[in-house]
Structure 1
């Protein structure tokens, strides 16, 4: 047991156990087991049914869904640790997610793909809103094209290699193969059900080809098994998805976090002459820019821009115009900006009640929630940090 004190704030925090502390009061226990549970939870676990009546409440992501769509990314690392501790995956239903879900219900998918851009200050929960929308896309049988965090490719690639098909560009073969594994894990069941075929022959080398009419999953597996060709396989896959979505064979949802990293002036990757490589010199960049362009239909793009996605010093503003720069802004224009703010008073109350319910926070004095509110400014990430284990 650890005791954390901040000013007059006194909280008992437990990193791995939920046993009731002698410091907890009978009043708090009654609140969390009866009234609190009704206030902060909703029994509606299907995001397609979430609306204004579910705002500021937590819903439980089923364990099988969590393993299928978030196993290789989608949750921030700090949130993943919290899930392991709480032994359940719960997401709060927030206004930005409900707003976009409502837009999607009324979308005419025969028109060019709409682009939504989430933005907001650091730590407001943009990644978790994306996770909520990813679950929505999964339940609505969209093929998911999900990049959990673009800066991982720009800042810390696993390996780089000169591209054999694009002179002067670099492949990220291991990162490409890892992304294809992520794509397959999320979509294998749906792709098998849809029985999609590649529209043309793809030649990888003198001895290796993927013939026209082969399963789309064969294309994916080739990129996984032959890491050398993983980036080319991604380009072929995303091209097929754009074409076949437009033909009405499937629906595609593109979800990318840290999208503005594609438009930063430099990466942290050094070329042979020790000069920093620009994002456009990576073969992974163009396929994801193509699929976020309005040149195809029967799909949607939901993107998040973030100051932490930049490879250099963070910019002062969190607005899309600044983070995307002129090139990125013009690439997405027109798009629908959706702001993600700090918790509202109701959301903050629900989050504190959830922590109390999981015995993660145990009160020692009245008014502790007001002090938490003051210290965190209702910022979701700061609140999580204040309530984290020592």
Structure 2
């Protein structure tokens, strides 16, 4: 017998005499839980039976609707880490999509206002509804964050057409680029064209009956006129919707930001501006008036789109104030609460499945600390 075989047999005999076994020596391994997923990948088919389950947004849809830095930062980082965009099907989203499916689009546009406490998932509810609109061939007019325009704008200039109005040309051009990414293919398919001629300079004009996409490309390449191009684009979309040439889905996150009395914008003379001075405010607040049909407007009332003193309020009438409420009255409110116990447990199952939740036995602790607030759940689990 070789020395190796002798040592191995001696060690086995030693374990036998000590009462050890290979089963006792093997560490206990517990299989991680697996989240429950819905079989319906299209939000059009989501019902109350899917509430609490996960659905995966196709990557091609995400890249068109939500390019880099458009999604909420924490959600984008999590999606990039897991290489998939999973969203919990929640009751507010199912309710909103049901309203959209049953709406009479021959009547004036209906306004829906998503509201709720900070971090409860208002933006993700809007994203879920946008996925529905995209799958049902709506042209999507999406403003990801009104707050950014009035706090982080790169360029502020007086409008030549009216010195009392302020343009944000770089932000407007960036918005047009995002609009083109999302809608250019559908606009070409529908063959939407300009109803009249728009003259920008003596030499530059967008001629009647030219493709609508050419107007968008002009605004992207000539940032100086981007704000005027947005006005023209929104007018044309309303016109085409009223003629039943297309359906339009307006989605504005932080809509109440248009009606605040302060901002970080300043003129070259260091004079502080308010959102009412900005042309984009007039463009989009006018766009969602109910003077057109064949569309829907979904707005988010967000406490973080307001001044700091209003962070404790989350109800639409507090956030929108009188001017904001009057601009969209009547509207249908959609409340987004914290996770239900079912949604909470299934989401933790998903984090455990992805090995993101390192201490599965700490679920009660997570529940107590976060009160099932979706954003806090993500933040707390990421730091454990």
> Would you call these one fold, judging by a TM-score over 0.5?
yes
Shift of residue 271, structure 1, vs aligned partner: 2.6
Map of 1:374 onto structure 2: 368
Q: Check whether the contact 1:154–1:311 (CA below 8 A) recurs between aligned residues.
A: no
Map of 1:204 onto structure 2: 200
The structure 2 residue matched to 1:97, chosen from 93, 98, 112, is 93
Structure with higher Rg: it is 2
Map of 1:179 onto structure 2: 175
Unmatched 5+ stretches in structure 2 = 1-26
Q: Check whether the contact 1:68–1:185 (CA below 8 A) recurs between aligned residues.
A: yes
Aligned partner of residue 111 in structure 2, secondary structure = strand
Once the two structures are superposed, what CA deviation does each residue of 1:244-300 show, in whole Å capped at 9, x if it has no partner? 101111000000101000000122111344332121211111110111111110000
Map of 1:12 onto structure 2: none
- Do residues 384 (structure 1) and 362 (structure 2) align? no
RCO higher in structure (CA 8 A, sep ≥6): 1
Map of 1:220 onto structure 2: 216
Map of 2:239 onto structure 1: 243
The structure 1 residue matched to 2:140, chosen from 124, 144, 154, is 144
Map of 1:13 onto structure 2: none
- Do residues 132 (structure 1) and 135 (structure 2) align? no
Q: Check whether the contact 1:73–1:148 (CA below 8 A) recurs between aligned residues.
A: no
Map of 1:123 onto structure 2: 119
Shift of residue 313, structure 1, vs aligned partner: 2.8
The structure 1 residue matched to 2:351, chosen from 332, 352, 355, is 355
Q: Which has the higher helix share?
A: 2
Structure 2 distance, partners of 1:295, 1:230, is 24
Structure 2 distance, partners of 1:271, 1:370, is 52
- Do residues 295 (structure 1) and 291 (structure 2) align? yes
Shift of residue 389, structure 1, vs aligned partner: 4.6
Q: TM-score under structure 2 normalisation?
A: 0.91
Aligned residues: 358
Distance 1:186 1:270, change over 3 A: same
Q: Check whether the contact 2:37–2:55 (CA below 8 A) recurs between aligned residues.
A: yes
Structure 2 distance, partners of 1:167, 1:289, is 20
Aligned partner of residue 361 in structure 1, secondary structure = coil
Distance 1:375 1:178, change over 3 A: same
Aligned partner of residue 266 in structure 1, secondary structure = coil
Unmatched 5+ stretches in structure 1 = 1-23
Aligned partner of residue 279 in structure 2, secondary structure = coil
Aligned partner of residue 167 in structure 1, secondary structure = strand
Task: After the TM superposition, list the runs of 4 or more consecutive aligned residues in structure 1 that deviate by more than 2 angstroms.
Answer: 24-27, 271-275, 311-316
